[in-house]
A and B are shown apart, each in its own frame.
Chain A
Amino acid sequence: MKAIGYRLSIILAAYGACTFDAASQLQAWTLTNGEVVEGELVNFFGDNVSLKTREGRTLQIPFLRFTEEDRTRLELENPPKLDISLTSVSEKKNFPAGPRPETQRPPEQRVHYGVTVKQTSTGSYHHELTLDMFIIGQERLGDRFLLLDHQQAPFRLDAQNRRIFDFRSNREVGLKNFTISGFTRGEKYFGYLAIVTDARGKIVAAGYSHEWLWNNVEELKMRGIGNFMDESCKRVFPTRPKPFF
């Protein structure tokens, strides 16, 4: 068994800024004394929250002055910065020879894919996150892609797990590479896409090997394991072999 760590991810630290993009609009915030403050969330660091009012003034309000509901909202609007990387554990499976060498079953690469999510920012995040992992393969005969694995897993980052979530899929992916009647068949690993969403279903971080996977994530979500697809993640048929004669 060989453990291989891939660090092909793109740290969307800027995604924290994207959350601010979502919040870059005036929102109503309720304080514990009943006062409602309208402001754009500028920063939330430590125990202090900065809101920018319509008039352009910046207010510094202690976190605990907000109602419980708005404290939850503030936390959700300020997710942790995450580092996402692909992992895999693979072994080569050889099968016993038959009466003749040509009857032996071709060897397979059997892989369990996974993702490691690590919090890189400070502070605690008290809400559940969900990992959505897609593993993409490519046929050997042509250039179509196929979904090798798709898993979802909820998790939390806390002091107990050192703010690291190590996920490994239960699904064993068998990658084949053989030649039959002069044609190469089977499939190989191509890439991955991993998305982390918060309790609201909002994406807070993503890691991917190829940008077109990220750009077509909604289409990718509609694919089933084993489906073939093109670079827009739309379902297609596999490449067909040429006629034998």
Chain B
Amino acid sequence: MESPIDKASHRIATGAPSGFVVSLLVHAAAFLLAGLLVVFTVVQKQEPKFVPPKAVDRPKMQLKRPQVKPSKSARPRPSNRIVVKSQISTLPDIQLPELGGIGDGLTDGLGGLELMPDMEGVNIYGSNRSIGNDLEGVYYDLKFTRSGVYNPMSDDEWRILFNKFIRNDWNPGIFSKFYRSPNKLYTTCFLLPSTVSAMAPAAFGMPEEMSSGGHWIIHYKGKLVYKEKITFRFWVSADDSLAIRVDKNLVVAASASNPASNGNVRAPKMFGSIWESSSMDSDKYVIGQWYGVVGDWITLEPGVPRDMEVVATDNLHEAAQFIVAVEVQGEEYPRSKYGGPILPIFKTAEITRDHLDEIYRYLPDNEICCTNGPVFRDY
């Protein structure tokens, strides 16, 4: 009988040749792979390395620390603007007829490239935001003490006080005992057609219990400048009184007078004898509701600003009116029904459409021109 061991030995002896073949195959594959690796090895190209040159010792400059004094002023200094005069010949101003009843064609709110006053808070006394080349207005109410206590005065006292202001270098300290509105307004023109005097305190934000008309004073300050040389004069129609001075020189002073009143009887009471018009056209032609008073000729050099102040006041009547127009020397103007020139209003910016609406509500047509004429600014 065959033993299990013999059977196993027999089985082993049978498998030996195939295992050898397998081993041979494995070894052959290994040699082939090794050969491939040896033949196809990629040679890496070495990048040349940059070696910087040695630094050269150079002598250093001894710099001094600049001595800078910090400015205490918070405002930036004004920059000098170089104005290049255009070589193109300019045409004379064309006097266009006033557009009435037509909505389009005029500056509507923010227009063009110019910075227009923001319409929010605009009224005919001014805007609550400045555009830079406007005049700043401060409101004093002579019916109230500095602390707001009602303390009215007579017309004579009012005239004396106003006259004192005019004669004392326009010192606003004269009104220090009276109530001053905390709000200021900024105006680019003086065109207040005949309207309720009590609208002035309302315009300046006076408390409603203090907003009655009459015996108030508005003092505007700003700069007068024009881009070219210009000679012109103001025409002023006022109720009750308005005066303008340029570089502290009184150039026009007007009080209410019209065909219904007895000549120009009030001006001497308001301004005394400190100024009188030299023009034969003064107090001859109605503008709005009152005679226009012709001021002195003023010459502006191109781009040279001059100090300008305007003071306006009203008596104890229902209405107030202030119209400041300009007549440029040598210009011809169309005539109103009263025979006087239809002059352009004084302005430091184009009148916006919204502003025109407010003006036209109270201003008759064909007496003053709001759209033409010079714009007093340096550009």
B194 touches A103 (CB 8 A): no
Residues of chain B lying within 8 A (CB to CB) of residue A106: 196, 198
- Please report the C-alpha to C-alpha distance between residue A180 and residue B364 in the assembled complex, in whole angstroms: 13
A180 touches B212 (CB 8 A): no
Does B263 make an interface contact (CB < 8 A)?
A: no
B316 touches A102 (CB 8 A): yes
Partner of B362, one of A229, A241, A243: A241
Does B332 make an interface contact (CB < 8 A)?
A: no
Min C-beta distance of B47 to chain A, whole Å:
61
Does B127 make an interface contact (CB < 8 A)?
A: no
The number of chain B residues touching the other chain, given as a range, is 35 or more
Does B59 make an interface contact (CB < 8 A)?
A: no
Residue of A nearest to B367 (CB): A243
Q: Name the interface residues of A189-245: CB closer than 8 Å to any CB of B.
A: 224, 226-229, 234-238, 240-245
- Please report the C-alpha to C-alpha distance between residue A234 and residue B198 in the assembled complex, in whole angstroms: 32
B209 touches A103 (CB 8 A): no
Min C-beta distance of A78 to chain B, whole Å:
41
Does A156 make an interface contact (CB < 8 A)?
A: no
Report B319-353 CB contacts with A as 1/0, cut-off 8 Å. 10000000000000000011000000000000000
Report B224-262 CB contacts with A as 1/0, cut-off 8 Å. 000000000000000000000000000000000011100
Min C-beta distance of B185 to chain A, whole Å:
18
Residues of chain A lying within 8 A (CB to CB) of residue B100: 237, 240
Residues of chain B lying within 8 A (CB to CB) of residue A102: 213, 316-318
Binding site secondary structure of chain A: loop
B212 touches A243 (CB 8 A): no
Report A20-43 CB contacts with B as 1/0, cut-off 8 Å. 000000000000000000000000
Q: A103-B318, A244-B286 are in contact. Are A98 and B198 (CB under 8 A)?
A: yes
A227 touches B361 (CB 8 A): no
B214 touches A99 (CB 8 A): yes
A236 touches B101 (CB 8 A): yes
Report B300-328 CB contacts with A as 1/0, cut-off 8 Å. 00000000000000001111000000000
Residues of chain A lying within 8 A (CB to CB) of residue B198: 95, 98, 103-106
Residues of chain B lying within 8 A (CB to CB) of residue A228: 357
- Please report the C-alpha to C-alpha distance between residue A224 and residue B39 in the assembled complex, in whole angstroms: 89
Looking at B211, B258, B318, B364, which has the most chain A CB atoms within 10 Å of its CB? B318
Looking at A95, A139, A180, which has the most chain B CB atoms within 10 Å of its CB? A180
Q: Name the interface residues of B351-379: CB closer than 8 Å to any CB of A.
A: 354, 356-357, 360-367
Q: A99-B152, A226-B354 are in contact. Are A105 and B202 (CB under 8 A)?
A: yes
Residues of chain B lying within 8 A (CB to CB) of residue A226: 354, 357
Q: Name the interface residues of A120-179: CB closer than 8 Å to any CB of B.
A: 139, 141, 178
- Please report the C-alpha to C-alpha distance between residue A93 and residue B202 in the assembled complex, in whole angstroms: 14
Residue of B nearest to A235 (CB): B103
Does A100 make an interface contact (CB < 8 A)?
A: yes
Does B104 make an interface contact (CB < 8 A)?
A: yes
Partner of A185, one of B109, B360, B361: B361
Q: A96-B212, A245-B286 are in contact. Are A224 and B194 (CB under 8 A)?
A: no
Residues of A within 8 A of B (CB): 93, 95-100, 102-106, 139, 141, 178, 180-181, 185, 224, 226-229, 234-238, 240-245
Residues of B within 8 A of A (CB): 99-104, 108-109, 119, 143, 152, 194-199, 201-202, 208-215, 258-260, 286, 288-289, 316-319, 337-338, 354, 356-357, 360-367
A102-B213, A235-B104, A244-B364 known; 14 new pairs, CB 8 Å cut-off, are A93-B208, A96-B212, A98-B213, A100-B214, A100-B317, A103-B317, A104-B213, A141-B361, A180-B362, A224-B354, A236-B101, A236-B103, A237-B103, A240-B364
